[in-house]
Amino acid sequence: MKDLHINPAIFDSESGEYERALAFVLANGIESEDRTNIGTISQFGLRMSFDLAKAFPLVTTKKLHLKSIIHELIWMLNGYTNVGYLQANDVTIWDEWASESGELGPVYGKQWRRWAGKPEIHAHEDEARENSKLFTVEASPIDQIANVIKEIREFPNSRRLVVSAWNPADIPAMALAPCHVMFQFYVRNGELSCQLYQRSGDMFLGIPFNIASYALLTHIIAFITGLKVGKFIHIIGDAHIYSNHIEQVKEQLTRAPKAYPQLSINRITRDVVTDPAQMRFEDFKFEGYDPHPAIKGEVAV
Ligand SMILES: Nc1nc(=O)c2c([nH]1)NC[C@@H]1CN(c3ccc(C(=O)N[C@@H](CCC(=O)O)C(=O)O)cc3)CN21
Ligand SMILES: O=c1ccn([C@H]2C[C@H](O)[C@@H](COP(=O)(O)O)O2)c(=O)[nH]1
């Protein structure tokens, strides 16, 4: 691309990991048709790594709407799948996919907190004969978030600290198949790291949100389990830039990354919060976020 001017500071900036990935897709992306009919340029198999112990990876080359990111995460952690909570907090990022009643189907919140368990058949011998019902089928839901917290506490070296949103039986009922599909925690030296597998990533709009969201999730789980934060590693399958975001991306890449902000979680005592759903918007304090101005882009539906 002849007209490509990438700010050289991007290549050696500690806070330029996202911008390097963005520049890579811009320079090497393969033109592709896609489900939305917008068209993309795409690369497969991207990896970014962020050192959460140093700073909070909130992209600085355009201003991000932090409020949407924090509320979306609280919404998922509460197991919600209806945009009602988001709309009540002026967050509109899921509106395009919601039904008239605001439903999205069994998306992240449901899979994280209430994955449908394996049905168990119970025979009720005496009672059942009386009301002519011989069996009942019960499926207790699986709370993957509570389970992973318990596992981190009891077996921090476990290699099974995994949460999955990819539930093939439920995908047909979801408004959108999960994009951030599976994450795994890793504990060493009192530090909690997280690695995410994202099957599909909208590099301009979605990915800056996803990075911040998982960095925040790692902070929350570390806070609750009494650990420090380590790294966030982000793996993306189909990493794409939509054709109607190319100009915005070029503009963004002329900018020099600035230092990332710091996050502190304000709670008098950690013991108050035992479930991440109890975290409130006001608990998070970001200091030193001084981004370049926002850049608008249309979301592909
Ligand atoms: N094409 C596409 N890209 C996505 O990133 C995406 C989807 N679809 N569908 C589901 C969710 C919704 N997400 C979204 C949707 C919109 C914005 C967005 O418009 N962001 C603007 C404004 C943010 C705001 O109003 O809070 C931005 O400038 O970042 C971001 C993420 C992420 N996901
Ligand atoms: O958290 C999210 C959610 C969605 N996206 C993007 C990735 C794609 O551009 C679309 C989803 O379309 P599919 O055809 O289902 O892949 O949404 C994201 O980047 N982050």
pLDDT of residue 129: 60
Which residues, in sequence order, are bridge partners of residue 194? 185, 232
SS3 label, residue 251: helix
pLDDT tens digits, 9-64: 999 999 999 999 999 999 999 999 999 999 999 999 999 999 999 999 999 999 99
Q: Which of 70-84, 173-187, 245-259, 263-277 has the lowest mean pLDDT?
A: 263-277
202 a known binding residue? yes
Q: Which of 37, 104, 179 to mutate to test the pocket of ligand 2 (most atoms within 8 A of CB)?
A: 179
Distance CA 255, CA 288 (A): 18
8: CB partners within 8 A, 6+ apart: none
Q: CB-hemisphere CA count at 13 Å for 62?
A: 22
> What pLDDT is recorded for position 135?
75
- pLDDT, average across residues 89-118: 97
Pick the ligand that lies closest to the CA of residue 171. Answer: 2
pLDDT tens, 218-260?
A: 999 999 999 999 999 999 999 999 999 999 999 999 999 999 9
- Residue 7 CA to ligand 2 center (angstroms) comes to 27
Residues recognised as catalytic: 179
**Does 200 appear as a known binding residue?**
yes
- Report the nearest atom of ligand 2 relative to the CA of 177: 15
Pick from 188, 146, 144, 180: which is nearest to 162 by CA?
144
Per-residue model confidence (pLDDT) at position 1: 54
The response to whether 255 counts as a known ligand-binding position is no
CA 53 to chain centre: 19
**200 CA → ligand 2 middle, Å:** 5
Residue 107: pLDDT over 70: yes
Q: Which residue in 238, 169, 223, 160 sits closest to 191, CA to CA?
A: 223
Ligand 1 binding pocket includes 65 (Cβ within 6 Å): yes
In the structure, what pLDDT confidence band is assigned to residue 293 with cuts at 50, 70 and 90? Answer: very high
Distance 267 CA to ligand 2 centre (A): 34
pLDDT of the residue at 267 = 78
ipTM of predicted complex? 0.98
Which residues have CB under 8 Å from 264's CB, separation 6+? 284, 285, 287
Out of 64, 94, 299, give the residue to mutate to test ligand 1, the one with the largest number of ligand atoms within 8 Å of its CB.
Answer: 299
Residue for token digits 């201003």?
A: 63
What spacing in Å lies between the alpha carbon of 228 and ligand 1's midpoint?
A: 30
Closest protein CA for atom 31 of ligand 1: 206
Domain spans, the chain: 43-113+143-240+255-287
Using 50, 70 and 90 to split pLDDT, how confident is the model at 136? confident
The domain covering 43-113+143-240+255-287 belongs, at the CATH homologous superfamily level, to Thymidylate synthase/dCMP hydroxymethylase domain (3.30.572.10)
In the prediction, which pLDDT does 126 show? 64
3 state DSSP class of 88? helix
Minimum-distance ligand 2 atom for the alpha carbon of 40: 9
According to DSSP, the residues that pair with 263 across neighbouring strands are 286
Do 201 and 242 meet the contact criterion of CB atoms below 8 Å apart?
A: no
Cα torsion at 265, 50, 1, 253 (round to 10°)?
30
Q: Which ligand is nearest to the CA of 67?
A: 1
The predicted structure's pLDDT at residue 2:
54
CA 112 vs CA 22, 38, 80: distances in Å: 29, 31, 10
Contacts 24+ apart (CB under 8 A), 124-127: none
